[in-house]
Amino acid sequence: MPTFEELIDERVGEKVNELIPAITESIRTKLSQEKEFKEINQTLFTQKEMAKKQGVSVTTFVKWRKMGLQSESSPTGKLLFDLNNVNKWRKENDPRKAK
């Protein structure tokens, strides 16, 4: 006859196995929501990312920088561009409409 502890261990193991799929799905959902939130709310992008967002080539984007488009530096020294600032600059300086 199993001991009380063995019965408890077995029952806890069963419950854990029942809960794992729900916990896993909950974690996946939360991570997906967080990723989507970051993508929607992200405003700083690299030159390559921003060129793609603006629908122009990196060469065109470099020309804009030479024309005065401002950037920010990341802690690692990488140039970053704020989407709102780029859109504003583009409306004021580029004949094509900002996206």
pLDDT digits (tens, 9 = 90+) for 6-59: 878 888 888 889 999 999 999 999 888 887 777 777 889 999 999 999 999 999
* 16, 24 contact by CB (below 8 A): no
Per-residue confidence (pLDDT) for residue 95, from 0 to 100: 64
Q: What's CA 3's distance to the chain center, in Å? A: 51
**What is the span of the domain harbouring residue 35?**
1-41
Nearest to 59 by CA among 49, 45, 48: 48
pLDDT digits (tens, 9 = 90+) for 75-97: 899 999 999 999 999 999 976 65
pLDDT surpasses 70 at 99: no
Q: Torsion-angle region of residue 26: left (phi > 0), alpha (psi -120 to 50) or beta?
A: alpha
Would you say residue 99 lies in a domain? Answer: no
pTM for this prediction: 0.57
How many domains would you assign to the chain?
2
Q: What is the CATH number of the domain that holds 77?
A: 1.10.10.10
Would you say residue 98 lies in a domain? Answer: no
Would you say residue 81 lies in a domain? Answer: yes
